[in-house]
Structure formats: structure tokens, C-alpha cells
């Protein structure tokens, strides 16, 4: 390593929230800059951070003697700054003579989770992304306190900046275990009451508030000048843009503005007189509306539910229905009622099936449909709408000898989907249950290839020719003969099937006999043992392939196309008309947006939520965003600058669920490691780059790699 030296730094952190003195070993370049900075000519360097106790001994460099340096919040003794990302590759080791030498150590820093304090995932995800933004890491590890503006009435007297600096220091130096960001939240809540308490908030709104708050705390302008507005008529756009940005910087000069704020222009043109009005604005992020999809893709949801006949009058059949995304279970039942032509003397009993058993019955009609996931398996049982009937639940197991007498042991080899039928008799015995099982199994019988369908009901999913055959008198006679044959067989033996009772705790009784009385209750659950003979007589494959709820095919849009649509010229809406200064009337002017100046850190906010007077809906469209070499040159309004604007994605805030009951996570790339990690509150795990594109992407963080 030529012409480089080590600096041993003792960071005396004087904040109340950090009581530990931290020794930092820095491999610094003699050239005064780091390779991550433009124009750096030195070899690749890295910053190493180690927790080596309270010792204040100095570092003796093995290749070049150098005196110790001290870095604290009030002293900027490190030339060149901090690299784009941090990794602990060396640590100071003190030998028996008191000298400190460098020892290789491979430890990745920055992989520390933040504990959820109660609906604070919105804050955790935004803090993680911002704390892994290279310019912020550099700035807050150096002398940011020199920029604190204690006299700014719009700021927090530096307390918000100090709170964020302390948090960032913990994430990068104390990096061992997840910790609660309680101190940061408490200090933030003192100045922003909307974030006090433990309600869910929007991560993008929080992020913009935090950036604005840091800007005001770190605004280098102590006395803001008065700036008189000027007339921009008949002047070149480039001149107007430079002057507008100069005025903006005259009262807003901070690291946040330097790295995160850009400039855009909006051009309004009167459709009658041709008057043109140009306005230059600054932005912290670009909020891009997603393309409006047809109604079924935006506010509705396609669901698949399999309907079973409780009276054995037909085979199981999956139905695809469309319901409102923000709807309730009652909406799903109404849609299924219409799809399967349910009569007034029938009802549907919905259940979620998992592990070949009924996981839960869905009977609360006001259950939000958002609680039902795409991976769930739903069955609707078609039953008589009569009071006093006993529900009979049938689960199936493969034939075999089992030691345990409990379903919960996991020993039993269950198969298929559970069946629900009903018992009309008041006195229930093994023979009564056997007849009910035989009835509900009748469509599965292999003795005929024609299924007995409900009388006077046409199957809308079959051609009319087949329907006519199925409902012919010959078919009805054949189906009836099958039932008669079944009854004849049954008269030769006590029971057709072998089954046992299962109680509410999953305990299995001995096999039932025909004359075994069963205590009357509202629901009876049995475990049916499938013998080889049963498999020969009945086709169990109809019970084994139950489709998941799934989702409709996702619409996919590209980020460049969304940005292009955002910037295209379009007329103003009737509620946003512009008053033309020449015509002295309100006009639906044509408006054109352009990007004029882009920051080093560029944020894209995908506006997934749509609002109307009564409801809030989320757009789950998949946005295909570039990860590497995102060229924004063609979107720039200043064509006179022949510059290349290349950006690289390094962080994502994801949102899952809806606005009221959603969850935020972050996906972040450690640039030096060239690896992506998933930050889900306290949990941090690695993730492949190929898996970061999801329909949950909400805020995208890009950094400029070439300009």
C-alpha cells in the first residue's frame, strides 16, 4: 500500500445518548481524498471501525510513522472525509509493549436492525435507507456540528440533527444487535407531534419531513436575505434557471440541499393567446403517479374459491369471482352465491384449509378481504339453509397403523381436502354417520363416469350438448341405479367406511361401530381411514387439487415510461385552471414539466394510493425499475448541457398491505460489499439482487455514478 498511512482516532462523543469512547482506525490517503470522491487519485482505501475499549494509546504505523489524530464532534482533523460505505477490515491491536498494529478482520458493519416500538416500521425503513446513503454517512461521521444553526426558527436548534447523528453512529459503530430507536423517536416527537404515539404513518411523508428538518437544523445561512421577485419574460430559460437556483441557495444552503435537492420547471401555455409562463421549483423527491389501470386492476380483486356440495350432488368445482379489494367477507359470499346459482334454501360455509384440515371457519361477515392472502386455499361448502342440522366434518388419512392417538402428533398421513356434510337425525350413531359419508362421497364413485348433478341445474362451465346429456332421463336413471346399488352393498355389511371420532383437542377415539351412539352436538368431526378398497371404489383425486386464491395477472410498467408520462404535456384539469395574465381569465392551459437540475441522491416516490371521498385504494402494479446505469439524460430540459446523468439503485422502501394495516421494510445495497440486504425492523438478512423487484416497491433511492 504505497503512500498511505494509518490514523488512530479516539472519538470522544460528547452526546448524552452515547457514553462510550470509541476508537476508530482509519486507513487514509495521503492525497487528501478518498477513491469514492470524483477526481480522487489515490489507491483504494477503506475505513475501519473497531471497539477496542477506553484506551487512549496512539497508533504506530508499521510503514510510516505518524502522530495520532483526534476526531470528535467539534474537531475536523481528518482530511478528505469518509468513504462511500464502511466496512471493518482492520482493527487496532495493542501488543505487550503498548504499540498498536493493524490486524486484518473481516466484519461487515451497518447490518444492524431497529426494533419496532409499535407501528414504527415506517420510521425504521426510512431511517435505514437514509443511514446507508453514502453522503450522509460521510457528513455525519465528520464535523457536521459546525453547520448546526441554533438560531433558525424553522429548525430544531440542532437537536434533530444530533439525534440522527447519534442514531447513525450506533448503526455503524455499535453494530452488534438490533436496538430500539426510542431516543430518536422521543426527540422527534417533541418537535413533530404528528409522530408522537404509535400510529402508523406514511414512510415517504416521514422521510421528507426528516430531510426538511435536517436541512433547517444544518442550514448554513444564518441571516436570510430579502429577495425581490423579477419578471422572467423574454429571457433565456437557462438564465432564469441559474438565477432561480441562486436565489434558492441564498436562503437554503445545507448538505441536504447539496445532495438531495433538484430543480424542475413547469411551463404553462395559454391555448388562446399563446402566453407562456415558466416557473422553476426545487424538489426533494419525484412523486410519480402510476398509470391508471382499468377498474378491475385497481380497485377489484380476482379470487378463486372451490365449492363443495354438502349433499353429494356434484363434484367440487373452482369458481373465479371478482370482488372489491377493500371489501369484506360478505362481498365474497355474495359473489359466490351468484356464480354457483345458490338457491334461497341453501347457504355457503367458507373455510380456510391448511395441512389437509380446516384451519379456520370464515363466518364473520365483516372480515376484511385483505386478511385473505393469495396463497390461502379456500373452500365454500354448499349446505341446506336449515336450523338444527348437525355439521359433520370429514378428514381423510391413508391406511396404516399409527402409534399416536392424536392428530397433533404429526404422525398421521392425511390426504385430500376435508368434506363438510350434515346430519338430520336427532339420534346419531355410527350407521347414521356412515350413510352421510356415503351420500357426500357419491360423486366420487368410480362405478360410473357420469356425475349425478343437481336436478334442474345447468352447469354453466360445460357445453350445452353435454349438459343435455347429463340432465337426460337416462342419466338420472343410471345415477339412481348407482345409489340403489350402493344401498344393496351396504345391507351386506355393518359399515361401508372405517372412521373414528376426533374431539376438539385432536384426540382420536377407537373406530366406530354401526350401533355406537355419538353424543349429540352442533358439530361432529371424524377421521376416515382410506383402505385399498375405498381407493378402488372412489376417486380421491377430486379432493387433492384445490387451487390457491391467487391474484389476477399483474400489470407491469417500467419506471422510465412512468417518468415520461409524468413529464409529458397535458391540459390542466377543470379544477386546476390557470389565470392567464394577458387574457385576464382562467384557462385550461397546457402544462409541461421538465427536469432541469438533478441531485446526487435522487428519490422516486411511486404513488400507489388513490383516494376518493369514501375509500382509499392501493395500486399493486409491478414497476420494473432499472438497477444499474439508469440514464436520465433524455428527461433533462436543459439540452444545452451535454452531460450524462447515470444513476444506480442502492435502497428501496417497500410497503405491504393497505394504508391502514400495512407494513414497511427496506432493501439496501452495501455498496462496498456489492450485496443487497433486507431490513425488516429487527431482522436483517441477505437477499439476491434478482429478488428486489416486487410490487411492494414504494420509494426508490438512486445515487449518481456519473455526471
**Residues marked as catalytic:** 121, 663
- CA nearest to 20, candidates 69, 55, 63: 55
Distance CA 91, CA 80 (A): 21
Helices 121-131 and 203-217, packing angle to 10 deg? 50
Q: What is residue 462's DSSP assignment?
A: S
- Name residue, grid cell 416497491: 697
Count of C-beta atoms within a 10 Å radius of residue 542: 17
Distance CA 217, CA 154 (A): 8
Taking every pair of Cα atoms in the chain, the longest distance, rounded to a whole number of angstroms, is 105
Distance CA 669, CA 650 (A): 5
Contacting residues for 249 by C-beta, under 8 A, at least 6 apart: 257
User: H helices within 417-516, ranges in order?
Assistant: 430-441, 464-470, 473-491
* Cell numbers at 586, concatenated: 382562467
Identify whether the C-beta of residue 195 lies closer than 8 Å to the C-beta of residue 178. Answer: no
Contacting residues for 283 by C-beta, under 8 A, at least 6 apart: 261, 262, 263, 264
Identify whether the C-beta of residue 111 lies closer than 8 Å to the C-beta of residue 684. Answer: yes
CA 557 to chain centre: 18
Distance CA 251, CA 482 (A): 90
- CA nearest to 550, candidates 267, 318, 217, 218: 318
Amino acid at each position: 500500500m504505497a503512500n498511505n498511512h494509518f490514523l488512530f482516532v479516539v472519538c470522544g462523543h460528547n452526546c448524552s445518548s452515547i457514553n462510550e469512547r470509541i476508537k476508530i482506525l482509519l486507513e487514509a490517503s495521503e492525497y487528501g481524498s478518498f477513491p469514492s470522491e470524483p477526481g480522487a487519485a489515490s489507491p483504494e482505501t477503506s475505513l475501519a471501525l473497531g471497539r477496542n475499549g477506553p484506551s487512549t494509546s496512539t497508533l504506530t504505523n508499521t510503514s510510516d510513522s505518524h502522530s495520532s489524530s483526534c476526531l470528535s464532534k467539534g474537531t475536523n482533523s481528518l482530511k478528505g472525509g469518509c468513504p462511500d460505505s464502511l466496512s471493518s477490515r482492520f482493527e487496532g491491536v495493542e501488543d505487550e509493549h503498548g504499540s498498536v498494529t493493524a490486524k486484518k478482520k473481516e466484519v461487515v458493519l451497518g447490518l444492524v436492525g431497529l426494533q419496532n416500538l409499535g407501528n414504527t416500521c415506517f420510521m425504521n425503513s426510512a431511517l435505514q435507507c437514509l443511514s446507508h446513503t453514502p453522503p450522509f454517512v460521510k457528513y455525519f461521521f465528520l464535523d457536521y456540528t459546525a453547520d448546526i444553526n441554533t438560531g433558525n426558527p424553522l429548525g430544531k436548534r440542532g437537536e434533530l440533527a444530533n439525534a440522527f447523528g447519534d442514531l447513525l453512529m450506533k448503526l455503524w459503530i455499535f453494530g452488534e444487535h438490533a436496538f430500539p430507536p426510542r431516543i430518536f423517536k422521543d426527540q422527534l416527537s417533541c418537535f413533530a407531534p404528528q409522530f408522537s404515539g404509535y400510529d402508523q404513518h406514511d414512510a415517504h411523508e416521514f422521510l421528507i419531513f426528516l430531510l426538511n428538518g435536517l436541512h433547517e437544523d444544518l442550514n448554513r445561512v444564518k441571516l436570510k436575505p430579502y429577495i425581490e421577485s423579477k419578471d422572467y419574460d423574454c429571457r433565456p430559460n437557462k438564465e432564469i434557471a441559474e438565477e432561480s437556483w441562486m436565489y434558492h441557495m441564498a436562503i437554503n444552503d445545507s448538505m441536504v440541499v447539496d445532495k438531495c435537492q433538484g430543480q424542475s420547471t413547469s411551463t404553462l401555455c395559454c391555448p388562446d393567446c399563446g402566453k407562456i409562463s415558466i416557473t422553476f421549483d426545487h424538489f426533494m423527491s419525484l412523486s410519480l403517479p402510476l398509470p391508471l389501470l382499468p377498474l378491475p386492476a385497481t380497485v377489484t380483486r380476482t379470487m378463486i374459491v372451490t365449492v363443495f356440495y354438502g349433499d353429494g350432488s356434484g363434484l367440487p368445482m373452482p369458481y373465479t369471482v371478482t370482488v372489491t379489494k377493500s371489501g369484506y367477507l360478505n362481498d365474497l359470499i355474495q359473489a359466490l352465491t351468484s356464480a354457483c346459482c345458490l338457491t334461497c334454501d341453501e347457504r355457503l360455509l367458507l373455510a380456510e384449509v391448511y395441512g389437509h384440515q380446516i384451519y379456520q371457519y370464515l363466518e364473520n361477515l365483516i372480515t376484511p378481504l385483505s386478511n385473505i392472502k393469495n396463497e390461502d386455499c379456500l373452500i365454500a361448502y354448499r349446505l341446506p339453509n336449515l336450523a338444527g342440522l348437525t355439521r359433520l366434518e370429514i378428514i381423510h388419512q391413508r391406511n396404516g397403523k399409527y402409534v399416536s392417538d392424536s392428530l397433533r402428533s404429526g404422525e398421521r398421513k392425511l390426504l385430500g381436502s376435508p368434506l363438510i356434510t350434515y346430519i338430520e337425525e336427532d339420534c346419531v350413531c355410527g350407521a347414521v354417520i356412515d350413510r352421510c359419508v356415503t351420500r357426500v362421497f357419491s360423486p366420487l364413485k368410480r362405478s360410473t363416469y357420469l356425475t349425478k348433478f343437481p336436478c334442474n341445474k345447468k352447469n354453466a362451465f360445460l357445453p350445452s350438448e353435454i349438459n343435455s346429456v347429463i340432465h337426460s332421463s337416462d342419466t338420472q336413471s343410471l345415477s339412481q341405479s348407482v345409489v340403489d346399488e350402493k344401498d344393496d352393498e351396504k345391507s351386506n355389511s355393518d359399515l361401508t367406511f372405517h372412521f373414528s371420532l376426533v374431539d376438539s383437542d385432536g384426540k382420536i377415539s377407537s373406530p366406530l361401530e354401526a350401533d355406537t351412539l355419538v353424543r349429540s352436538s352442533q358439530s361432529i368431526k371424524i377421521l376416515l381411514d382410506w383402505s385399498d378398497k375405498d381407493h378402488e371404489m372412489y376417486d380421491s383425486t377430486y379432493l387433492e387439487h384445490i387451487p390457491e386464491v391467487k391474484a389476477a395477472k399483474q400489470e407491469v410498467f417500467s419506471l422510465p415510461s412512468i417518468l415520461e408520462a409524468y413529464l409529458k404535456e397535458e391540459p390542466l384539469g377543470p379544477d386546476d385552471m390557470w389565470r392567464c395574465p394577458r387574457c385576464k381569465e382562467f384557462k385550461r392551459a397546457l402544462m409541461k414539466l421538465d427536469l432541469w437540475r438533478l441531485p446526487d441522491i435522487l428519490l422516486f416516490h411511486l404513488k400507489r394510493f388513490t383516494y376518493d371521498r369514501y375509500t382509499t385504494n392501493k395500486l399493486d402494479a409491478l414497476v420494473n425499475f432499472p438497477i444499474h446505469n439508469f440514464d436520465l439524460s433524455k428527461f433533462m430540459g436543459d439540452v444545452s448541457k451535454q452531460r450524462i446523468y447515470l444513476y444506480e439503485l442502492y435502497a428501496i422502501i417497500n410497503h405491504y398491505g393497505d394504508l391502514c394495516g400495512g407494513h414497511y421494510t427496506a432493501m439496501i445495497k452495501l455498496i462496498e460489499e456489492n450485496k443487497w440486504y433486507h431490513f425488516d425492523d429487527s431482522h436483517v438478512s441477505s437477499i439476491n439482487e434478482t429478488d428486489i423487484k416486487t410490487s411492494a416497491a414504494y420509494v426508490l433511492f438512486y445515487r449518481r455514478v456519473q455526471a
